[in-house]
């Protein structure tokens, strides 16, 4: 059984973090001449460095999403958090992460960038987790980190908390549960409830999907304080810009509108899923709980080319495991989905 300290890269354990001016002095003062910023504030109001700990954002995350303030750290998108976790725990040229394909591509890309190996316990044919294979890999191959994406991208499938806990029980490495699409799943059981019991568990959320600000790059890591403090220590001090923090505050305060859009996306997803089945070239719609639909057609490359020629861009997933013939369609506005249907109506198959 590896302790959490034993999982951390030794050079990270001994790292003395950079101390920014904003770390040295906290509180309110009249005159800030400590950080070599410009005193001149133009319309962007970005002349000052951002709060390294994004406190105002995190207060609202607790208020609006119930994410406890003391357990959150904000990344420049979840992508930065994935990269940071790999760099904190996995040693280049030696350690490995475990993923379950088909899944989000970023885990393996960031592992490769850091010269960290990638183990795969593929999903079963029905796109559920192969728990037995995951357990075997964890006990024999000893990955430092195991990434589980639920609802999974690109399948949209939710894994039960019971399955996730089965992995947590036997995993003495770090388990990262990526809940980027949680907001779209009805009656979603978040792994956040398990953090008290499993200090090696990390949960990730994002404001890029249901919360509507992909362009601002706001990813959220929720974990016990030991991992949180490591991430704070390793992250670039000013990783979340003033503009991004402002966007996060605006969207979190506008949560009624966010929920309204979320509901309309879910309704559109459910109705489009049914409608797509009426096209002769559609073989299957893979139902999921996210803001996209996976549709299997006779010839994915041909339909992809047809749609893109008409200025409609979907994601071609035909080369992913089990997803031969599949396109992933994000639920857009009524107008966008109207144009998609219009194009599909004119497709010869």
Question: Applying CB under 6 A, which residues contact ligand PLP?
Answer: 77-79, 104, 149, 153, 178, 180, 206, 208-209, 214, 219
Task: Give residue 242's Cα distance to chain centre.
Answer: 21
Nearer to ligand PLP by Cβ, of 78 and 175: the residue is 78
Q: Are 132 and 167 in contact (CB under 8 A)?
A: no
| Nearest distance from C-beta of residue 253 to ligand PLP, angstroms | 20
- A 10 A CB-CB count for 144 gives 24
| Nearest distance from C-beta of residue 213 to ligand PLP, angstroms | 9
Nearer to ligand PLP by Cβ, of 8 and 190: the residue is 190
| Nearest distance from C-beta of residue 206 to ligand PLP, angstroms | 3
| Nearest distance from C-beta of residue 148 to ligand PLP, angstroms | 10
Gap between the Cα atoms of 185 and 70, Å rounded: 26
Nearer to ligand PLP by Cβ, of 295 and 344: the residue is 295
Nearer to ligand PLP by Cβ, of 78 and 190: the residue is 78
Helical ranges in the chain per DSSP H: 4-7, 10-13, 21-24, 55-65, 77-89, 106-113, 131-141, 161-170, 225-234, 242-253, 255-276, 300-309, 334-345
Q: Are 191 and 177 in contact (CB under 8 A)?
A: yes
Nearer to ligand PLP by Cβ, of 22 and 58: the residue is 58
| Nearest distance from C-beta of residue 204 to ligand PLP, angstroms | 7
Q: Are 305 and 273 in contact (CB under 8 A)?
A: no
- A 10 A CB-CB count for 54 gives 23
| Nearest distance from C-beta of residue 45 to ligand PLP, angstroms | 24
Gap between the Cα atoms of 317 and 31, Å rounded: 55
Gap between the Cα atoms of 174 and 197, Å rounded: 13
| Token output for 206 | 């994002």
Nearer to ligand PLP by Cβ, of 13 and 214: the residue is 214
In the three-class reduction of DSSP (H, G, I as helix; E, B as strand; rest coil), residue 148 is classed as: strand
| Nearest distance from C-beta of residue 315 to ligand PLP, angstroms | 11
| Nearest distance from C-beta of residue 254 to ligand PLP, angstroms | 19
Residue closest to ligand PLP when measured from CB atoms: 77
Spell out where 278-332 has E strands.
Answer: 282-286, 292-297, 315-316, 326-330
Nearer to ligand PLP by Cβ, of 199 and 212: the residue is 212
Gap between the Cα atoms of 177 and 221, Å rounded: 10
Nearer to ligand PLP by Cβ, of 68 and 105: the residue is 105
Nearer to ligand PLP by Cβ, of 22 and 217: the residue is 217
Q: Are 302 and 293 in contact (CB under 8 A)?
A: no
Element spanning 16, H or E: none
Q: Which residues of 260-270 are buried (b: 16+ CB within 10 A; e: fewer)?
A: ebbeebbebbe
What is the Cα gyration radius of the chain?
A: 22
Nearer to ligand PLP by Cβ, of 75 and 173: the residue is 75
| Nearest distance from C-beta of residue 173 to ligand PLP, angstroms | 20
| Token output for 179 | 């809940």
| Nearest distance from C-beta of residue 289 to ligand PLP, angstroms | 13
């Amino acid at each position: 059984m590896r302790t959490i300290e034993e999982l951390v890269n030794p050079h990270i354990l001994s790292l003395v973090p950079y101390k920014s001016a904003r770390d040295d002095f906290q509180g309110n003062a009249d005159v800030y001449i400590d950080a070599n910023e410009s005193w001149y504030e133009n319309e962007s109001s970005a002349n000052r460095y951002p709060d390294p700990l994004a406190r105002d954002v995190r207060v609202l995350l607790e208020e609006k999403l119930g994410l406890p303030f003391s357990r959150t750290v904000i990344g420049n998108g979840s992508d930065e958090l994935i990269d940071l976790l790999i760099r904190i725990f996995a040693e280049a040229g030696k350690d490995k992460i475990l993923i379950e394909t088909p899944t989000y591509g970023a885990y393996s890309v960031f592992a490769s960038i850091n010269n960290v190996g990638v183990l795969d316990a593929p999903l079963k044919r029905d796109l559920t987790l192969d728990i037995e294979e995951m357990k075997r890999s964890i006990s024999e191959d000893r990955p430092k980190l195991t990434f589980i994406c639920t609802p999974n991208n690109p399948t949209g499938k939710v894994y039960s908390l019971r399955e996730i806990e089965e992995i947590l029980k036997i995993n003495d490495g770090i388990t990262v549960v990526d809940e980027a699409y949680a907001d779209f799943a009805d009656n979603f059981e978040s792994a956040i409830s398990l953090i008290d019991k499993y200090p090696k568990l990390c949960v990730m959320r994002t404001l890029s999907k249901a919360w509507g600000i992909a362009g601002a790059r706001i990813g959220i890591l929720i974990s016990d304080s030991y991992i949180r403090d490591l991430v704070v220590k390793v992250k670039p001090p000013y990783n979340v810009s003033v503009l991004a923090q402002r966007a996060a505050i605006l969207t979190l305060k506008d949560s009624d509108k966010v929920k309204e859009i979320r509901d309309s996306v879910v309704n559109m997803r459910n109705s489009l899923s049914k409608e797509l089945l009426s096209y002769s070239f559609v073989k299957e719609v893979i139902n999921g709980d996210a803001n996209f639909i996976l549709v299997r057609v006779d010839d994915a490359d041909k339909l992809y080319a047809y749609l893109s020629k008409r200025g409609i861009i979907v994601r071609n997933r035909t080369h992913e495991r089990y997803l031969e013939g599949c396109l992933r369609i994000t639920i857009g506005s009524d107008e966008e989905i109207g144009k998609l249907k219009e194009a599909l109506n004119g497709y010869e198959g």
